Amino acid sequence: MATLPVPPILTAASKPRRSTRGSFSTPAIARAKPPNRFSRLRACGSLRSADLAGRSVALSGDIPAIFDAPLAPHHKLIGRWVASRETVPVVRTRVAARRHIERVFDAAVLDILNPVILADLRVAVLHSEENGPPAIAIICEGLGQLDLGWIETSDAPIPWRAAAYSALEKTLGRALPVFGYQDLFDEIAMYYWDGETDDETARQCLIDYHGADADDLDEQTLPSTMNARRPEWMIAANAAPSAQLPIGLRKQLNRLYKAHEALGRLPSERNAWHFDFQAIYEYIPGIEECSSLPPLTLVPFEQFARELDDVARNGMEMGFMDVAGLCPLPDADRLDDWFASLQIGAQFLLAAQDLIQIDPASP
């Protein structure tokens, strides 16, 4: 006897948030494989083996309601964790037990993730396709450019803005499926110029392999013209040293880097934000059909709309690699560690969120 998820309600990890600004307007093409989260795969379409935190679970319609169904492995695992937190034992039917387990788990997840509005995050509890233990995945549902706040739109000095932007580029990939300018440039180089990154060889590739007319190359995007479109605050070399930043901004940057280091110190097997290709293949069937592009970017649409649309086409058609982390849980004792790591990752995202939202000149 099986259980089927009821249509989702907006709780726990499926609650919408103000995570991104803009989106990929037309689908695009991409195949480069940079060595970071940009190279990850995506949990595409629907998670066929997942029960989402916050969903209630109902009996399959072809099973009479008078016949209860046994708890699935992931309900048993989380159920043991729920039972360990209760002081008074309560006798419940299996249906009531499933719902109680989901509500308690859902509330605990929400308590940690609710303050995070930088990205749309939800949590899914997954069955293994290979008879392994249940796993919990963090999924990013946002799409497009992260809102960079004052870094992109204010009149603050360029060195301040560049320091903040550079910090986000260096750190955010540890917790979010996000790509930066260098990732975009590498992808465009593969698509437009067969991987070449200097103007002369890129021109020759456009002529030899794309049929471009040598007399019309002034109208074509070249590596130097693409790089020239970067606003000054996107260039790391323009970032001011820490000692030259206002004290409030310096404190926020230090907080971000410390939270980033704390997340990096977690052991992978007890880290809610850890990403492993082989584990993803095991727990999310059909993932190989999805794009290798993350759904979020730090690249501003205003300057790079065409390039972002080009690289996003495959993701718009097949889905993006939107897993922020996945952690198999062989026993209920690991759940406390999972929640502790979820909290550490949330603190890191809150540090990034506060960096984007502060008044950089304030003490």
Q: What is the pLDDT of residue 46?
A: 37
The H or E element spanning position 150 is helix 150-153
Strands (E) located in 37-113: 50-52, 57-59
- Averaged pLDDT for residues 255-266: 98
> Would you say 288 and 281 are in contact if contact means Cβ atoms under 8 Å apart?
yes
Residues contacting residue 99 through CB under 8 Å, at least 6 positions apart: 56, 57
**pLDDT class of 363 with cuts at 50, 70, 90:** confident
User: Which of 146, 143, 138 lies closest to 13 in space, CA to CA?
Assistant: 138
Identify the residue whose tokens are 């590498």.
186
What DSSP state is assigned to residue 15? -
Dihedral angle of Cα 266, 267, 273, 279, to the nearest 10 degrees: 170
Q: Which residue has the higher pLDDT, 77 or 27?
A: 77
| Pick from 37-41, 72-76, 293-297: least confident | 37-41
Q: Rounded CA gap, 229 and 99, in Å?
A: 53
What DSSP state is assigned to residue 162? H
The values of phi and psi at residue 252, to 5°, are: -65, -40
> Would you say 2 and 57 are in contact if contact means Cβ atoms under 8 Å apart?
no
- Averaged pLDDT for residues 85-109: 87
SS3 138: strand
> Would you say 116 and 353 are in contact if contact means Cβ atoms under 8 Å apart?
yes
Q: pLDDT tens for residues 312-348?
A: 998 899 889 999 999 999 998 899 999 999 999 999 9
